């Protein structure tokens, strides 16, 4: 871990170098009224954040659920439109982890643990967390933190970023230890500044929620839920609360700011409960326990029977009880045939049953209505792959990589499918893109070198591979200059 983050530590250290030691052509004048830009420019923040994301992805496997990914992307980009972000160029990462955590990293990286679904009782409560994280980004709390505490920020912030990786990789306790150790270096003034950041993020986040038509009182509800649930957690404090401490005063402040604004009626969002069910099924280690959980909800006359039935169908599918899953999903589709989650999971069941022709027929019908739909195309590529139609699967994945070039799992799958199709040069090119996205530039150069030897007779492809090799060298040099 120390070796992994040596690059990040050097990057933070470079931000603390006096300005007169920089080359003249590298000096970026600060924006008027923004003293933090003299230490870290917005471009440096972006580059550092994306460098950190590469390291993160090399250590942490993201949750592979295109339907949930699209749900969160639409949610956060809708929020970003109403936020104070000047350039909402965001990268969202979802981690399958039962712990409660969310984080924002300089450069527009927002992370969410699926465990948040266990705490957010509705979509507006989840949105309150996302709006808060967007506020940290829009107010540039990272750069302002460096301005306020030049001497200890390198250790503190690098340690916090490292702790996020540890927490997502090996569990909460190790992440807590990493972040607690780094925070021990912070001075009292640093801690006071951190509390100021949190107060500002709360205020700005509530404004974002209001502008986006969300219930601002949900923020206070979320804080209260967090405080109530963590009171019974013993000494194991969730990672989220280390950097976002919840107190009675903070709850009161949130309630006070939203007073009078939550009296109007806010429409409930049923899609949230379906995603919540998907998250629960993905996190539970015992399919039978999950089945029992949703059956108990239904027997208790839950207020959201459709979501409980959807979760039960997914749990049946995970347990291999495909006929039960099919019957339940058909019933849900009969009630709401246009619900994309039901349509998607109905096809997932067909895939599990190896009914490839039926699954593809349903997919083609849906894609005719919503072409270029990411979850549907990802599912199509998986069905074609399982049906041994490797070239067709590769073609779908290639199309997806053009619209989502920063998704490492798409490139990983594409490399596998191209290998099965016998496209060896294509395997090396796709692997190179994957290695670029996880920061393994040496391996990316190696893969492009192998591809170059195989396409030497094809002038066009040879030129493309050679240019990409130059791009990788340039990326590596920029990363070193951070």
**DSSP calls for 152-199:** THHHHHHHHHHHHHHHHHH-HHHHHHHHHHHHTT--HHHHHHHHHHHH
Residue 256 phi/psi, 5-degree rounding, is -65, -40
**pLDDT at site 455:** 95
Q: What CA–CA distance (Å, rounded) separates 111 from 62?
A: 10
**pLDDT at site 173:** 42
- For residue 115, give the DSSP letter: G
Q: What CA–CA distance (Å, rounded) separates 482 from 109?
A: 17
The architecture (CATH level 2) of 282-353 comes to Alpha Horseshoe (1.25)
**Per-residue model confidence as pLDDT tens for the chain (482 residues):** 444 444 443 343 333 333 333 333 333 333 333 444 546 677 878 888 888 899 889 888 899 999 999 999 999 999 999 998 887 889 999 999 988 888 888 888 999 999 999 889 999 999 999 999 999 888 876 666 655 555 444 444 555 556 556 555 544 444 434 444 444 444 344 444 466 777 888 889 889 999 999 988 888 888 787 777 666 555 455 555 555 666 566 666 666 666 555 556 678 899 999 999 999 999 988 889 999 999 999 999 999 999 999 999 999 999 999 999 999 999 999 999 999 999 999 999 999 999 999 999 999 999 999 999 999 999 999 999 999 999 999 999 999 999 999 999 999 999 999 999 999 999 999 999 999 999 899 999 999 999 999 999 999 999 999 999 999 999 888 877 76
CB burial readout 166-188, b (16+ within 10 A) else e:
bbbbeebeebbebbeebbeebee
* Residue closest to 446 by CA, chosen among 458, 435, 462, 461: 435
**pLDDT at site 136:** 87
**Tokens 């009161």 -> residue:** 252
Structure-token pair, residue 439: 């920061």
- DSSP-derived pairing of the beta strands 102-105 and 91-95: unpaired
Sheet containing 102-105: order of strands: 91-95, 109-113, 102-105
* Residue closest to 317 by CA, chosen among 278, 356, 362, 371: 278
**Do 60 and 95 form a contact (C-beta atoms < 8 A)?**
yes
Global pTM reads: 0.82
Sorted by where each begins, the domain ranges of the chain are 6-258, 282-353
Q: CB burial class (10 A; 0-12, 13-18, 19+) of residue 467? A: exposed
**Do 114 and 63 form a contact (C-beta atoms < 8 A)?**
yes
Angle between helices 374-386 and 66-81 (to 10 degrees): 160
Three-state secondary structure call for residue 45: helix
Structure-token pair, residue 480: 């070193």
* Residue closest to 383 by CA, chosen among 417, 341, 354: 354
* Residue closest to 175 by CA, chosen among 126, 236, 110, 104: 236
First to last CA, the chain: 19
CA angle centred on 242, ends 241 and 245, rounded to 5°? 50
Number of Cβ within 10 Å of residue 350's Cβ equals: 22
**Do 112 and 92 form a contact (C-beta atoms < 8 A)?**
yes
* Residue closest to 288 by CA, chosen among 259, 322, 318: 318
**Do 426 and 418 form a contact (C-beta atoms < 8 A)?**
yes
- For residue 62, give the DSSP letter: P
């Amino acid at each position: 871990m120390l070796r992994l983050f040596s690059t990040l530590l050097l990057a933070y250290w470079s931000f603390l170098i006096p300005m007169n030691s920089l080359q003249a052509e590298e000096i970026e004048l600060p924006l008027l009224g923004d003293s933090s830009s003299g230490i870290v420019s917005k471009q440096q923040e972006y580059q550092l954040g994306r460098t950190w994301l590469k390291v993160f992805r090399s250590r942490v496997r993201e949750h592979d659920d295109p339907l949930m990914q699209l749900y969160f992307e639409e949610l956060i980009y809708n929020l970003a439109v109403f936020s104070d972000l000047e350039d909402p160029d965001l990268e969202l990462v979802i981690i399958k982890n039962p712990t409660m955590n969310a984080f924002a990293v300089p450069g527009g990286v927002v992370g969410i643990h699926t465990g948040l679904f266990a705490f957010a009782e509705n979509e507006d409560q989840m949105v309150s967390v996302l709006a808060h994280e967007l506020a940290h980004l829009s107010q540039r709390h990272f750069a302002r933190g460096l301005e306020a505490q030049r001497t200890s920020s390198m250790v503190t912030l690098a340690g916090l970023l490292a702790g996020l990786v540890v927490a997502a990789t090996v569990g909460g306790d190790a992440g807590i230890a990493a972040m607690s150790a780094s925070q021990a270096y912070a001075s009292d003034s640093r801690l006071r500044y951190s509390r100021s950041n949190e107060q500002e993020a709360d205020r700005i986040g509530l404004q974002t929620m209001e502008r986006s038509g969300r219930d601002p009182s949900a923020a206070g509800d979320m804080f209260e839920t967090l405080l109530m649930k963590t009171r019974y957690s013993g000494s194991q404090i969730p990672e989220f609360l280390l950097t976002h401490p919840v107190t009675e005063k903070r709850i009161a402040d949130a309630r006070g700011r939203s007073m009078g604004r939550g009296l109007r009626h806010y429409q409930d969002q049923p899609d949230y409960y379906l995603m919540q069910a998907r998250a629960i099924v993905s996190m539970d280690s015992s399919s039978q326990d999950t089945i029992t959980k949703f059956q108990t909800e239904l027997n208790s006359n839950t207020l959201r029977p459709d979501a409980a039935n959807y979760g039960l169908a997914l749990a049946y599918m995970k347990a291999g009880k495909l006929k039960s899953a099919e019957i339940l999903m058909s019933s849900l589709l009969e009630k709401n045939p246009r619900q994309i989650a039901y349509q998607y999971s109905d096809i997932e069941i067909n895939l599990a049953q190896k009914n490839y022709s039926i699954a593809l027929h349903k997919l083609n019908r849906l894609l005719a209505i919503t072409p270029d739909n990411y979850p549907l195309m990802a599912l199509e590529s998986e069905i074609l792959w399982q049906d041994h139609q490797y070239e067709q699967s590769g073609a779908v994945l290639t199309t997806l990589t053009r619209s989502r070039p920063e998704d490492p799992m798409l490139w990983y799958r594409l490399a596998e499918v191209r290998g099965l199709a016998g496209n060896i040069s294509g395997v090396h090119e796709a692997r190179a893109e994957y290695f670029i996205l996880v920061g393994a530039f040496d391996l990316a150069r190696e893969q492009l070198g192998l591809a170059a030897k195989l396409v030497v007779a094809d002038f066009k492809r040879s030129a493309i591979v050679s240019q990409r090799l130059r791009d990788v060298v340039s990326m590596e040099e920029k990363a070193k200059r951070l």
